[in-house]
Structure 1
Amino acid sequence: MPTGSHFSVELKEVYFRIIKFVESEKSGPKIPLNNTTDRLLVMLNISRASLFRLKKEMEEQLNAKRSSRSSSLANFTPTTHRNRSSSQIRSLQREITVPVAKPPQIRGGNLPKTFSEEVENAIRHQFHVLLTKKVYPTVEILFNQLHAAYPDFPILSKTSLREYMHMLGFTFKQISNTKIPLEGIEIEAQRAIFYRKMGNLRSTGAHIFYHDETWSNASEEKRSIWFSDTGEGRSRKSDGKGARLAISAIIDQHGFHLPSVEIFNCTTDHNMDSEHFIKWIKSTSFRLRDEHGPNDRICIIIDNATWHSELTDDTKQGKRAWRKSEIQQWLIRHRIHFDPIMTKAELLELASINRPAKRYKVDEVAMQFDVEIVRLPTKHCEFNPMELVWAALKDYIRKNNVRFRLNDVYNLAAEFIAGFDEDAAKNAIQHARQVEHTFRTGDRFVEENVEPYLKDTDSDTEVELDIEDEV
């Protein structure tokens, strides 16, 4: 290779793997020399199918190049040429002709089962932004809107966007000659309930606190930094995430509620469970009631994490894993008549039909102190200002974390929380309320200007769209 060449990070990683593999065989081959396929798989770190596909593609190009060269050399008379290099390696390098690889095709490809929560939020948000502007959000318009708002949006074709919207619960309905996606009724109903509850809380002057949890690793660092020409610039030497902290807190328009902030080490995946959260909600509800007196209305907004949503024992549904006798006892406790000759499946069906309304342990504990719990609509974390707050906290940690010790991360998190002032809190809450207003306006537009003109079909299932060309 010529000196002075610049290689991409990915190419350097490939070269480095090959170097390490060759160096590891100083005392003898680890994989037999005649087993070329397995040796290449280890060196290149690719799958067997990818290796065969690469070889086939490159050989086809090489053969095409040789055939074109042979035709052009038919009338060529060679002249005497002296090879000035005595290096065997240089001679071998000349003999090996490497064709230029085809660039990967830009296409939608198979969708992953899930994208990040940010992608889902972006789709829902831009969908409602269009509705707020009284623009029908067809797939094409929504696709263009997403890529205009987020240049690195990961869904690269309109067909893939349509498929992913199906996965999120959107269905396609036809109005006149236009087919547009609409969200599922259950999601819209959850939002409507949330709007109504929040409107009531605000109109009565309630103390509204927003709760959320986040996690931070000892090795948090800035995502993008400058490197020198020698590769220097990064403080951290390894790519491991290190130990982890969990942070649980609430904010209102005045900032963090400092007495209830929790920062603790994680020993498992999240180290947060229903029992731990119920203890936290109990102590926090007690503090809030003590601070605001017996008459003020207090509410805590939480999301739908599993540890926030454990049902009370009397409202838990019978499960298939239960023994038949356990299901019978459940029916007896709920005063539901059943025939003793019923099978387990019949008993479970009967229990499902007579399932009582859900009640959550968290809500029951908070109500002991006359503190209300309101849940965000499913997958609508953008309604929670804590999302912006945690993003700012992690940015602060990454900027100032230079020793990558868990104790330093703890102190940096505590510093940020203590210094988070009233103006910052009001700005975060105002942003979340603006997002909420966008969704509310969009939902009203759908109800008043779209749904009355939907074409009635035999069923309420989705209307198939014509497959759109991928970009």
Structure 2
Amino acid sequence: MERPNLLHWRYKYLHKIRKYRQEKRNIVNLINLDETWIDNDLTFKKCWQSNTVSGVISNVGSIGRVIIVHAGSVNGFVDNACLIFKAGLATGEYHVQMNKENFTRWLTEKLLPNIPPNSVIIYDNAPYHSVQEDKTPTKSSLKKDIVAWLTKKGINHDATVRKCDLFDLVLLHKPPDHEKNFVVDRIFKSHGHIPVRTPPYLCELTPLELTWAKLKYIIRSRNTTGNFNLTALKEVTNEAMSLIYPHDWQKFCQHVKDIEDKFWENDQKMVNLDNGKRKRKIVPMRNPNTTIKYSWRSLKSGTPMVIL
């Protein structure tokens, strides 16, 4: 069972994307951005081998990782927008190793100068995408931060009362979720672009997930030793990107569009059910004075004989 707030978020997202597609923005201007990682021990786990051809050597201790940030559309990767850098750690979640500073620098120096005007930029809700300006305090915020926020907003309050009473004022005056002031959104809007965030837990709505899958497949096919050094890892990653062509992106984007259409269709069916449009089979109640008697034949066939 899906949570109602996530269903609503998905509906709003699909409504926006369908609108932009109808405006023909998907031809050049529907830009998807995302991040992924590549370890130097990225190899196939199984392969054919013989007496003369050895199998893939797998290195069980990864000592090198690169993080990739890129963007693309139905026409392929955005030119000159690729960023590949060495991760600070060779293990762990790469979202932890990516941060607001690296992402914002890539955004302003590599992405924005290389995309068409008035683009629709699609991205997820990773932490470094969701840094807020003038963030609304939470229950875990310090009392002094809650007081500072209320003061900045010009909200009358008594700073001597308990924190929970002050937080009630925050809940009363906080802006709705769709008005949160994200740094990344502000940057895009200031350059004339339209930011759109994908719903949580729906990575299948971005074609870059399929792009990363093909990228890693190509790298696995090149990495037969399982022990690339950092230079070789970057070289093979750039080579793999050059082998992902615009016609691949067109297939990936069409696949995502098919998923969007399927979600839209299924969600509409659920709306119809909620509105009572489902055809219900009416089964009349049995007369309480009716006696049901079973014969051997009726028991064999599973059909009772009704005797009034």
TM-score in terms of structure 2 length: 0.80
Counterpart-to-counterpart distance in 1, 2:140 and 2:210: 41
Which residue type is aligned with residue 63 of structure 2?
A: G
One-letter amino acid of the counterpart of residue 429, structure 1: C
Q: Distance in 2 between matches of 1:350 and 1:429?
A: 45
Written as runs of structure 1 = structure 2, the 5 A alignment for 1:270-309 is 270=94, 271-288=97-114, 292=116, 296-309=117-130
Residues 285-305 of structure 1 show CA distances to partners (whole Å, capped at 9, x for unaligned) of 53135xx3xxx4211110111
SS in 1 for 2:70: strand
Distance in 2, Cα, partners of 1:345 & 1:246: 42
Which residue does the alignment assign to 1:240?
61
- Describe the shift of the 1:340–1:389 C-alpha distance in structure 2 as closer, same or farther (beyond 3 A): closer
RMSD value, Cα: 2.2
Cα distance 1:390–1:339, how it changes in 2: closer, same or farther (>3 A)? same
Partners of 1:335 and 1:402 lie apart in 2 by 63
Partner of 1:354: 173
- Give the Å deviation of 1:434: 0.6
Distance, in Å, in 2 between the alignment partners of 1:343 and 1:331 is 14
Runs of 4+ aligned residues of structure 1 deviating over 4 Å after TM superposition are 227-232
Equivalent position to 2:144, from 312, 322, 325: 325
Question: Whole-Å Cα distance in 2 between the matches of residues 451 and 411 of structure 1?
Answer: 57
Q: Distance in 1 between matches of 2:123 and 2:245?
A: 22
Paired with 1:192 and 1:320, the residues of 2 have a C-alpha distance of 29
Larger Rg computed on CA atoms = 1
Aligned residue for 2:113, secondary structure, equals: helix
Three-state SS of the structure 1 residue aligned to 2:195 is strand
Report the AA paired with residue 247 of structure 1.
I
1:221 aligned residue: 43
Map 1:90-169 → 2, pairs under 5 A: none
Change (3 A) 1:383 1:218: same
1:382 Cα deviation (Å)?
A: 0.4
Identity of aligned residues (%): 25
Specify the alignment match of 1:334 in structure 2: 153
**Distance in structure 1 (CA, Å) of the matches to 2:269 and 2:244:** 37
Residues 203 and 297 of structure 1: CA distance in aligned 2, closer, same or farther (over 3 Å): farther
Q: In the alignment, does 2:188 pair up with 1:366?
A: yes
Give 1:399's aligned residue.
221
CA distance in structure 1 between the aligned counterparts of 2:157 and 2:202, rounded to whole angstroms? 41
Q: Aligned pair count?
A: 265
Aligned-pair distance for 1:229?
Answer: 7.9
Give the gaps of 5 or more residues in structure 2. Answer: 279-308
CA distance in 1, matches of 2:150, 2:211: 46
SS in 1 for 2:180: coil
**Secondary structure at 1:224 match in 2:** coil
Q: Is the aligned partner of 1:433 residue 2:242? A: no
For residues 370 and 186 of structure 1, what CA distance do their matches in structure 2 show?
A: 29
- 1:191 equivalent to 2:4? Answer no
Is residue 38–residue 67 contact of structure 2 (8 Å, CA) maintained in 1?
yes
Structure 1 runs not aligned, ≥5 long: 1-169, 171-182, 455-471
Structure 1 match to 2:211: 389
Residue 246 of structure 1 aligns to a residue in which SS?
Answer: strand
Contact 1:318 1:352 in 2 (8 A): no
How far does the alpha carbon of each residue in 1:26-57 deviate from its partner, in whole angstroms, 9 at most, with x for none? Answer: xxxxxxxxxxxxxxxxxxxxxxxxxxxxxxxx
Q: Does 1:419 align with 2:243?
A: yes
**Displacement of 1:218 after TM fit?**
0.4
- Secondary structure at 2:55 match in 1: coil
Q: CA deviation at 1:402?
A: 2.6
Q: Is the 8 A contact 1:220 1:398 kept in 2?
A: yes
Alignment-mate amino acid for residue 257 of structure 2: R
Judged with a 3 Å threshold, the aligned counterparts in structure 2 of structure 1 residues 230 and 372 are, in CA distance, closer, same or farther, namely same
User: Scaled by the length of structure 1, what TM-score is found?
Assistant: 0.53
Residue 378 of structure 1 pairs with residue 200 of structure 2: yes
Greater alpha carbon shift after TM alignment, 273-282 vs 251-260: 273-282
Amino acid at match of 2:249: A
Letter in structure 2 aligned against 1:309: S
Counterpart Cα distance in 1 of 2:275 and 2:158: 45
Instruction: Decide whether the 8 Å contact of 2:81 with 2:111 is kept in 1.
Output: no
